[in-house]
């Protein structure tokens, strides 16, 4: 879909391209109060949005939605760009467009995260970028936590909460036969010891009488309380408790 000509009603094959001189002239006119110059700057930089959204085409999001969100980032960049900083507009705008799209993806994450936790994560990411520029290296979590005056554990928890979920069938290696994420995840429930223990438990249950089997099934396989079991089979809770203990004791002889 990213290669289609029209996105959100915009014919991408006919988007204008502005020279550096035209960009500077339009910024000067916009900052002097000309609204038409702002519109020309937006239209003249839509190709920048197109180039950015291609990084996010594997997220399953509609390209039209990503394009619209990217345009918001572009407009923010245009409105806040400072000609006096001697920086190319694209250098300034691309991180803002990416940030806007990432914020959109996080807010629409299928795993719901509280607003306060997301706010902590966004602040931590902003501080991380600031510290990276200041120190010319990647800051540690402890440095970010100190800057925000928040416990280190809370920073780690907040950053983990906004990570994109990964499918168990996401390929991590492909050379003939692909290797998926699920191939790298162990399953302790299917360990040999658990399998043998399950066989032993089922064998021991067969040694019980029908009432004992029913009580243990309702209690431990269907998760019912002793009171619910008592009501279902028509005896008192005290009787259920006594029969349950006797059945478990009887089973231990065979496990």
Q: For the chain, what are the domain ranges?
A: 1-108, 109-174, 188-252
Average pLDDT rounded to a whole number, residues 192-199: 66
Vertex 165 angle, CA 133 and 146, to 5°? 35
Q: Is the pLDDT of residue 152 over 70?
A: yes
pLDDT tens-digit readout, 56-78: 776 667 788 888 898 999 999 99
pLDDT band at 2 (very low <50, low <70, confident <90, very high): very low
pTM over 0.75: no
Assess if CATH 1.20.120.1810 describes domain 1-108: yes
CA 161 to each of CA 21, 56, 68, 147: distance values in angstroms, whole numbers, following the listed order:
44, 20, 25, 20
Same topology between domain 109-174 and domain 188-252: yes
Q: Looking at the predicted structure, is the pLDDT value of residue 1 above 50?
A: no
> Judging by DSSP bridges, how do beta strands 10-11 and 177-180 pair with one another?
unpaired
Give Cβ neighbours of residue 52 (< 8 Å, ≥ 6 apart): 70, 94, 97, 98, 101
- What pLDDT digit, counting tens, does each position of 106-132 carry? 777 666 667 788 788 888 988 998 888
List the one residue out of 86, 122, 126 whose CA is nearest residue 105.
Answer: 122
Helix 115-135 × helix 152-161 angle, to 10°: 110
Residue 111 contacts residue 88 (beta carbons within 8 Å): no
CATH number of the 188-252 domain: 1.10.10.10
109-174: CATH topology: Arc Repressor Mutant, subunit A (1.10.10)
Please tell me the distance from the alpha carbon of residue 143 to that of residue 135, in angstroms, as a whole number.
11
């Amino acid at each position: 879909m990213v290669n289609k000509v029209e996105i959100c009603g915009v014919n991408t094959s006919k988007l204008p391209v502005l020279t550096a001189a035209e960009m500077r002239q339009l910024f000067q006119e916009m900052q002097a109060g000309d609204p038409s110059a702002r519109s020309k700057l937006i239209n003249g930089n839509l190709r920048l949005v197109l180039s950015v959204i291609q990084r996010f085409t594997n997220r399953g999001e509609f390209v039209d939605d990503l394009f619209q969100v990217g345009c918001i980032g572009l407009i923010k960049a245009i409105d806040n760009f400072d000609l006096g900083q001697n920086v190319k507009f694209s250098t300034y705008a691309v991180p803002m467009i990416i940030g806007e799209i990432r914020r959109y993806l996080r807010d629409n994450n299928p795993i719901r995260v509280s607003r306060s936790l997301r706010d902590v994560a966004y602040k931590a990411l902003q501080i991380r970028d600031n510290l990276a520029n200041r120190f010319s290296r990647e800051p540690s979590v402890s440095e970010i936590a100190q800057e925000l005056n928040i416990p280190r554990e809370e920073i780690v928890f907040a950053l983990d909460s906004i990570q994109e979920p990964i499918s168990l069938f996401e390929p991590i290696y492909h050379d003939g036969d692909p290797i998926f994420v699920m191939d790298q995840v162990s399953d302790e429930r299917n360990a040999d010891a658990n399998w043998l223990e399950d066989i032993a438990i089922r064998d021991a249950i067969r040694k019980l009488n029908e009432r004992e089997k029913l009580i243990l099934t309702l209690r431990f396989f269907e998760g019912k309380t002793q009171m619910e079991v008592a009501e279902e089979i028509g005896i008192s809770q005290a009787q259920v408790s006594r029969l349950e203990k006797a059945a478990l004791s009887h089973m231990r002889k065979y496990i």
